[in-house]
Amino acid sequence: MRPLLDVQRVSKMFGGLQALQDVSFDVSAGEVVGMMGANGAGKTTMFNLISGNFKPSGGQILFDGQSVVGMSADRICRMGIARTFQIVRPFNELTLLDSVFIAAQFGARTRKGRSQAQVLAAEILDIVGLAERKDELAATLTLADQKRLEVARAISTGARLVMLDEVMAGLTPREVTEMLSIIRDLKARFDLTIIIIEHVISALMNVSDRIVILHHGETVAIGSPDVVARDPRVLACYLGTKS
């Protein structure tokens, strides 16, 4: 069974800086793959390469068997990959419903009529818990809610693969739990495959089927949470020793 996303020996140089070197991993349909690593390890860069914001310096990225290297970011989204941004980028002057509704009109969905898109948008807003605020402007939200909106917007595009970039950063423990629950609900409802970058390790271990650990642009370990948590290399460079 071919993986949904196949990242093959991908490298990325920025001038003289090697952000990613020879990184390979794959993601099967329906999986949740967590990505971890210290700041600067290359996680967001990896996302940017997959989503088409940057072009890899080397290697191949296959989505459902098709290479997406060199495609524009919007074309890649239409193919079925969506992402959130590490620093949220809301449509400030648009309402929550409009933000999600517009996403439903574009992206990977087969062209939906206006009312269908509105219904879908309303449903997604409901799952993320923002239904009551749907007519408020995005700029008025708290950070936690803006992160939920960002997730809702990404899902609304009808993507099969959703990449979440530190959606829990800055959230209180209770908000983290809520976000985890939202992610699970959305995954189940829309049959999603997810790659998730997080520093909140407990949450990541909790929700992921497998974990990829990056360090200085290279893969250090790939495996199930238990395996990775005991891997000596991982303990050495990222997790620290712990009983």
Partner 1 sequence: MTRALPFVVFLAAGFTVPWIGSTYALGVGLQLGMWIALTQSWIILSGMAGYISLGHAVFFGLGAYFVVMTWEVIPIWLSLPLAGLITFLFAVIISVPVLRVRGPYFVILTFGIAELVKYVVILIESSFGQYSRLLFGTPEIGDLYWVMLALAIAATALSYWIRFTRFGHGLLAIREDEEAAQSIGIPIVRYKTLAYGLSGIIPAMVGGVMALRTNYFEPEQAFDPIVSFTIITMAIVGGSDDARGPLLGAAFFTFLSEMLWASAPQGYLIILGVILIAFILLMPNGICGRIFPPAGSRI
Structure tokens at 68: 């997406």
* Residue closer to partner 1 (CB basis): 123 or 209: 123
Stretch that binds partner 1, among 38-46, 78-86, 183-191, 207-215 (CB under 8 A): 78-86
Are 18 and 217 in contact by the 8 Å Cβ rule? The answer is: yes
Among 97, 180, 213, 228, binds partner 1 (CB under 8 A): 97
Stretch that binds partner 1, among 2-10, 75-83, 141-149, 212-220 (CB under 8 A): 75-83
Stretch that binds partner 1, among 28-36, 37-45, 95-103, 166-174 (CB under 8 A): 95-103
Strands 32-36 and 17-27: unpaired
Among 4, 36, 45, 85, binds partner 1 (CB under 8 A): 85
Among 9, 55, 70, 72, binds partner 1 (CB under 8 A): 72
Q: How many CB atoms lie within 10 A of CB 180?
A: 19
**Interaction of residue 73 with partner 1, rule CB under 8 A:** yes
Stretch that binds partner 1, among 17-25, 96-104, 141-149, 205-213 (CB under 8 A): 96-104
Shortest reach from residue 48's CB to partner 1, in Å: 10
Alpha-carbon gap, residue 63 to 190, rounded angstroms? 18
Binding mask 103-142 toward partner 1 (x if CB under 8 A, else -) reads x-xxxx--------------------------x-------
**Interaction of residue 67 with partner 1, rule CB under 8 A:** no
